[in-house]
Amino acid sequence: MAVRNIASPRAGAAPAVRRRASLPQRIWRMRLVYAFLVPAFVLLAIFEYWPTYLVLKEAFYDWDGFRINSYVGLANFQELAHDPVFRQSLRNIFIILVFYLTIPFAMPIVIAETVFNLASERAQKFWRVFLLIPAIVPFLVILLLWQYLYNPVDGFLNNVLKALGQPPQLWLSSPTTSLRSYMAIEFPWASGTYMLIYLAGLQNIAQDVIDASRLDGASTWTRILRIDLPLIMGQIKLIAVLTIIQTFQRFVGVLILTDGGPANATMLPGLYLFQRAFQSHRLGYASAVGLTIFLFILTLTLINQFLLKSSETESQEQGIV
């Protein structure tokens, strides 16, 4: 009887390499997962990407919101470049941005460091909760409270000035004080949300690093400058970017308190966009304002990322990190 010659595989031979599935095959294999994502993508497309596309498109049209009158090219941007109200709004927003990137930006870091260095864990938990309470209060309530404080007739601040023998101030009604009064809102600028972000970064620092700095005789101030701050640079970048974006998007507070007055002293780009769109019905021009604001935010964000990255690289070269 003939014996069938069956070649047996050699010992130690590598198994055949499984062909990697193509992209359509991988999508089909995960079709159920993608099906659950479809509603989210549809909503994003309708309420996020489509309005963004309209802004990019209608910035080059004379549009009243109901019909497109005509294509005007760069005419909206040329008018915007010579618009004195928009230039005043840019001046105001850059003053506010410089302020927000100093004291209100640093206060959460100071508070986070203070909470982080508390010896009692119970005290740390208490202050984390206590400082986060203002974050859950609606911003409108805060604005109404400050509106009372700034009331020129019987407001709290003017009553204090009267008790001290000083004349009352027109806090929100004078061109010389209105912008500064607006920037003082939310004093003492102890943002509980930003504080928690910084505190999370501090708590992620390895305890061995902190113990080593203590053994080397480093003071708390030295440790903060040479260890803590460089190691929470990621959180600092995040807060800086959020501050830039939120500052340029602000307009609700000014809309409620001053409506951009007096004499455009508190006019902001976001409020100017709102007025041109829904009061003047010039949505094409308002789209040009929005696109300009976007370009400013993008430019400042890139500059911020470059400067903070350079600072972090310099710290690493000096052996700080």
Q: What tens digit of pLDDT does each residue of 87-99 get?
A: 999 999 999 999 9
Mean pLDDT lowest among 2-16, 124-138, 181-195: 2-16
What pLDDT is recorded for position 16? 47
Task: Give me the chain's average pLDDT, please.
Answer: 84
Burial of 28 (0-12, 13-18, 19+ CB in 10 A): exposed
Residue 124 has pLDDT above 70, yes or no: yes
Burial of 24 (0-12, 13-18, 19+ CB in 10 A): exposed
Contact 281, 275 (CB under 8 A): no
**Tens digit of each residue's pLDDT (9 = 90 or more) over 201-259:** 988 888 888 888 888 877 888 888 888 888 888 888 889 888 988 899 888 889 989 99
- pTM for the complete prediction? 0.79
What pLDDT is recorded for position 308? 67
What pLDDT is recorded for position 226? 86
Contact 278, 65 (CB under 8 A): no
Cis check: omega of the bond before 167, within 30 degrees of 0:
no
* Partner residues linked to 68 by β-bridges: 63
What pLDDT is recorded for position 229? 87
**Tens digit of each residue's pLDDT (9 = 90 or more) over 162-184:** 999 888 888 998 888 999 999 99
Q: How confident is the model at residue 269 (pLDDT cuts 50, 70, 90)?
A: very high
Higher pLDDT, 45 or 217: 45
In the chain, the percentage of residues whose pLDDT exceeds 70 is 89
Structural tokens at position 5: 């010659």
76-317, which class in CATH? mainly alpha
